[in-house]
Amino acid sequence: MAKEIERKFLVKSDGWRSEVSSSSAFLQAYIAYGDDRSVRVRIMDGKRAKLTIKIGRELSVRDEFEYEIPLADAEEMAVAAVGVVLEKTRHEIRHQGYTWEVDVYGGTYKGLVVAEVEIEDEGALPDIPDWIGEEITGDRRYSNTVMATEDLSGEIL
């Protein structure tokens, strides 16, 4: 079992763009969800796919299980998605020993830009780049599961 511990922030400027080491286009569809768990399928660059199961009530710390699956299976599951299929481009940036993931949303959430950093334990304090804005860790409105199942585009954009 893998434990995911992350902090999430809004992005306040484009300063991160010059530091991008890789980018990937995602379609992210939620197949099932509950108060403390979610099952999603993610299609990356239209070429490969993963099935992810997350368990835990806290948005910042959850158990995560992730598996490569056939692209055709993922495409079929995405058709049966609950709510909005999220569209985003994920950009990776390395900064002071941490990998930051900047998600630039398209589709329903076009204009939203969020950064996440995975940390080794809840007490870790990564250096915060100057292009990072307000911390939104634990704000359920920015949970991908909530964004997909409740369509909060009018509230957070």
**β-bridge partners, 4:** 62
CA distance 50 to 34: 20
In sequence order, what are the residues at sequence separation of 6 or more whose Cβ sits closer than 8 angstroms to the Cβ of residue 41?
28, 29, 31, 49, 50, 51, 52, 69, 74, 77, 78, 81
CA distance 107 to 111: 9
Residue with tokens 């941490």: 98
- 30 given a catalytic annotation: yes
**What are the tokens at 110?**
């076009």
Residue 143 CB neighbours (<10 A) = 18
Q: Which sequence positions are flagged as catalytic?
A: 30
